[in-house]
Amino acid sequence: MSGNRALLFIFQTLLNLKRPATLTSIFQDASRGNEAAFNAFLKTTWEELAPPLTALVGPPKEARELFLYGISILWEQLVVHQRMAPQNPSAYLFVVCKNEWLSRKKQATQGQLVYDSVQFDHQTSDLLSSEELHSKEAQQQEMEALLKEGIAQCSDKCKQIIELHLVQGRKLKSLWKELGYESYQAIVQAKYNCKKRLSNYIFTNSRKRKR
């Protein structure tokens, strides 16, 4: 009897171990270049999220574009960095897409306000719109300046990836040996680590300047 229980326990444990591995294996396979399972995941998730996203956004094309933005973030985190998948990836993805949509909507509304004010009151709005536009332009210029500074601060390896992969357009698969990486995955990781450091540099310094 106790032997049967032990077998049952082992069986259940194996079963439980198997469950989370399914989702993890999708992302692991994709990181090794086998994207078949990921593509199936992409389609199922889209089928699940298309109705609420379309309901939220309106035009289905915009909903799909938003979804693809969310997927590119998910790809970077779960496939490239191999982070643990959340309990419910599609629900998480929905929130990410929704926040992105809200952020775009906010920016668009600001633009619209500028436009509307020009329509209604020419005299005051000229001043207002130019102020607003100036602030937007200034923000863009600040980001560009920080990007340049951030790139200048990059390590030599990061600069090599930027030059050969991003500027010259060479594929990472043809570069990893040449640049002395252990594997293709290693150079992909390196690329995204450089990106992360750049993003952190921009964030930290933009905050410092605003204080």
How many separate helices (H) and strands (E) can be counted in the chain? 7, 0
Nearest 5°: the CA angle 201, 73, 171 is 85
Identify which of residues 4 and 88 has a Cβ nearer to another protein in the complex. 88
Q: Tokens 């594997």 sit at which residue?
A: 183
Identify which of residues 80 and 129 has a Cβ nearer to another protein in the complex. 80
Find the binder of another protein among 99, 109, 110, 153 (CB under 8 A): 99
Q: Tokens 């332009």 sit at which residue?
A: 137
- Establish if 165 lies at the interface with another protein (CB under 8 A): yes
Identify which of residues 5 and 211 has a Cβ nearer to another protein in the complex. 211
Residues 6+ apart with CB under 8 A from 110: 132, 136
Binding site for another protein (CB under 8 A): 39, 42-43, 46-47, 50-52, 54-56, 60-61, 63-64, 67-68, 71-75, 77-78, 81, 83-89, 91-92, 94-95, 99, 103, 139, 143, 146-147, 150, 165-166, 169, 171-172, 191-192, 194-196, 198-200, 202-203, 206-207, 210
